[in-house]
């Protein structure tokens, strides 16, 4: 077997195994939560007979192992179960919520990724000069400030004082694209500020590491401009670490967006999860946790694959 194909197969197999292990952790974690699901549904005034009947109906009396495999096989077939509190099909409910979260993450990534790479290249071009110091200081400050604080500050300044954008990011199918973009402007701005710093700093560090190579010195001796050396020689050879950090931040845009969705009351996966955690709706929590884990592991797997394919020593072994 080709070594690169073997390595890719190993990465995919490890990702699937990790997802299976996380599904066990999610299931066990929700099972050991304090409280009684039947009690939370029927209320404190429910009779013991009613509680016993509901537990039997929900399958809460079945062995945990049997319940886990029933849940896992259902998830593999696209059946995530039914919400206990609303009786709604979880798959259909999550479909619209996940599309909203992906819509928010897409526009944040569309702004953050090119801007981060551009700022990283600019910082390398003017290394140790005022543009580099200014970019590093601003990005370091954005890393240090909690995202919810950035959200509330922007909400106060831009939505309340200046009234440029709405403070609540509500979208629905009846809105056109411009109305949706206007509604999500503030959460997109917050997410961009949060992930921009990590990607810019990694881009800068990766390119500076490559700039110490001998072939970079050769390119400089040929009389190429500094920007051409960085863009045509250093940047292509630093793709692997940059892709890794970009994928990690894209995973955050989908998985770690819970706080931002709650702050701006955005109808995404994060808000859906928080609403049902407070109701102790275990099937919804399990489904959201599994989807978040699958997205995070999937994006990291893509980063590994791109790193392998971008490595010339693996593509052209001696």
Domain ranges (residues) in the chain: 94-279
For the segment 187-204, the average pLDDT, to the nearest whole number, is: 82
**Calpha distance 41→86 (Å, rounded):** 10
Average pLDDT over every residue of 81-105: 78
Asked whether the predicted pLDDT for residue 41 surpasses 60, the reply is yes
Average pLDDT of the chain?
76
Q: Check residue 33 and give its pLDDT.
A: 65
Q: What is the mean pLDDT of residues 73-83?
A: 77
Q: What is the pLDDT of residue 6?
A: 78
- Phi/psi at 188 (5° precision): -65, -40
CB 190 within 8 A of CB 154: yes
Q: How confident is the model at residue 79 (pLDDT cuts 50, 70, 90)?
A: confident
Counted residue by residue, the chain has a size of 318
Neighbouring CB atoms inside 10 A of 38's CB total 19
CA distance 300 to 303: 5
Closest CA to 248 of 301, 204, 191: 301
Per-residue confidence (pLDDT) for residue 316, from 0 to 100: 58
Query: What's the pLDDT score for residue 158?
Result: 82
Compute the average pLDDT of residues 270-274. Answer: 79
Instruction: Give me 267's structure tokens.
Output: 């109808």
Of the listed ranges 3-12, 124-133, 204-213, 262-271, the one predicted with least confidence: 204-213
State pTM to two decimals. Answer: 0.74
pLDDT of amino acid 220: 62
The CATH homologous superfamily of the domain defined by 94-279: MetI-like (1.10.3720.10)
Distance CA 208, CA 122 (A): 12
CA angle 216, 249, 254 (to 5 degrees): 155
Local confidence band at 58 (pLDDT 50, 70, 90 cut-offs): low
Reported confidence tier of residue 117, pLDDT bands at 50, 70, 90: confident
Closest Cα partner for 242 from 105, 117, 115, 138?
A: 117
263 vs 312, residue with greater confidence: 263
Task: Say whether pLDDT at 196 is over 70.
Answer: yes
Q: How confident is the model at residue 214 (pLDDT cuts 50, 70, 90)?
A: low
The residue among 219 and 202 whose pLDDT is bigger is 202
Residues 27/71, Cβ–Cβ less than 8 Å: yes
Q: Partners of 89 in the beta sheet?
A: 82
Q: Which residue has the higher pLDDT, 4 or 222?
A: 4
């Amino acid at each position: 077997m080709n070594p690169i194909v073997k390595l890719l197969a190993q990465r995919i197999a490890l990702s699937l195994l990790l997802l299976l292990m996380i599904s066990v952790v999610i299931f066990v974690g929700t099972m050991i939560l304090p409280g009684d699901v039947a009690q939370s549904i029927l209320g404190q005034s429910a009779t013991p007979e009613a509680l016993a009947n509901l537990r039997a109906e929900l399958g809460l009396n079945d062995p945990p192992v049997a319940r886990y495999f029933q849940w896992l096989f259902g998830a593999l077939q696209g059946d995530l179960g039914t919400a206990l509190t609303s009786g709604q099909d979880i798959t259909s409910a999550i479909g619209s919520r996940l599309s909203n979260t992906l819509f928010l993450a897409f526009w944040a990534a569309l702004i953050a990724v090119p801007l981060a790479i551009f700022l990283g290249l600019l910082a390398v071009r003017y290394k140790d000069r005022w543009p580099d110091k200014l970019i590093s200081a601003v990005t370091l400050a954005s890393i240090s400030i909690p995202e919810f604080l950035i959200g509330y500050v922007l909400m106060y300044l831009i939505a309340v004082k200046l009234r440029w954008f709405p403070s609540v990011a509500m979208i629905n199918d009846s809105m056109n694209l411009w109305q949706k973009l206007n509604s999500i402007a503030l959460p997109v701005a917050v997410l961009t500020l949060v992930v921009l710093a990590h990607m810019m700093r990694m881009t800068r560090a990766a390119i500076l590491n490559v700039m110490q190579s001998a072939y970079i010195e050769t390119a400089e001796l040929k009389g190429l401009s500094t920007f051409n050396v960085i863009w045509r020689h250093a940047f292509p050879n630093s793709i692997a670490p940059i892709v890794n950090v970009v994928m990690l931040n894209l995973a955050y845009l989908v998985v770690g967006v819970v706080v931002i969705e709650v702050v701006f009351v955005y109808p995404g996966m994060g808000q859906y999860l928080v609403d049902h955690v407070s109701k102790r709706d275990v099937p919804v929590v399990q489904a959201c946790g599994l989807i978040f884990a699958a997205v995070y592991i999937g994006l990291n797997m893509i980063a590994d694959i791109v790193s392998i394919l971008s490595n010339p020593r693996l593509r052209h072994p001696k």
